[in-house]
Amino acid sequence: MTSSTEGRNATRTASARQWIRVAAAYLLIPLVLLLCGGDLGWWQAWGYSLLIVAAGIGGRVWAERRHPGLLAERQATETFQNAKAWDKVLAPLMALSVGFPVVIVAGLDHRLGWSSVFPHGLIMLGFVLVSLGYAYAAWALAENRFFSSVVRIQTDRGHVVCDSGPYRLVRHPGYAGNILALLGIVLALSSVWTLVPVAVAFIIAVLRTALEDRTLLDELPGYRDYARRVRYRLLPGIY
């Protein structure tokens, strides 16, 4: 991913309909979790719901305040049409994998008692990881003017490399934050079985990161130099 300076085209302001889509998406995930769990007294589900709604909607408000028009660009039809062919498959899979499969499995696990309730300390550690992961991903979105929903070189917007904020640590902090949050969900919601959809989401994220990184190295001026300075894609010292 990349970012910086003002785009060359006129800014498109996000419409009320686009904000409603964002709000609906982030409210639907907690609703599915609670419906699958079948327990309105499940405090862990309510705690997670507050975190994802606050981070999801709040992060986009933060990003839009810093970079007006980013939300409109991310939802524009032509944005998806101009995506790399492989990302027209991976982008929807990625968006789906980090949300609904995990909460569906966690909810059913709670309802049917597949997993034993974790110790309180592990649950709280999970909430810390979820909070840190979502905060890091939101920071990446707010830092990066060119944080698109799909992989494409945004020549129409004056695409340049972003090397500030979380991009000083890893090259794809948005993915890194979401992966950390997914691992936290396993603990926070006391669900061993969520490791299955989390593993699938992790594989999709790593594959998409590799393909996106190759695209940026080949096509975005300055990215190769940036990659020499920031060596790791997702996890410092490892990958």
Does the domain at 16-229 match CATH 1.20.120.1630? Answer given as: yes
Collect all residues with Cβ–Cβ distance below 8 Å to 83 and sequence separation of at least 6. Answer: 91, 150, 151, 152
C-alpha dihedral sign at 149, 150, 151, 157: negative
Measured CA to CA, the distance from residue 77 to residue 12 in angstroms comes to 13
Rounded CA Rg of the chain: 18
Residue 221: count of CB within 10 angstroms of its CB: 10
Residue 140 in contact with residue 201, Cβ under 8 Å?
no
Full DSSP string of 199-238: HHHHHHHHHHHHHHHHHHHHHSTTHHHHHHHS--SSSTTT
Q: What is the pLDDT along the chain (239 residues), one digit of tens a residue?
A: 443 333 334 456 777 888 998 999 999 999 999 999 999 999 999 999 999 999 999 999 999 999 998 888 887 767 778 789 899 999 999 988 888 999 999 999 999 999 999 999 999 999 999 999 999 999 999 999 999 888 888 888 889 999 999 999 999 999 999 999 999 999 999 999 999 999 999 999 999 999 999 999 999 999 999 999 999 999 998 88
Q: Using CA atoms, how far apart are residues 92 and 66, in angstroms rounded to an integer?
A: 26
- Close Cβ partners of 136 (under 8 Å, ≥ 6 residues apart): 166, 173, 176, 177, 180
The rounded distance, in Å, linking the Cα atoms of 86 and 215 is 11
| Predicted pLDDT at 1 | 46
Annotated domain spans of the chain: 16-229
d(CA 228, CA 177): 22
Query: What residue type is assigned to position 190 of the chain?
Result: S
Secondary structure of residue 193 in the 3-state scheme: helix
Distance separating alpha carbons of residues 109 and 194, to the nearest angstrom: 8
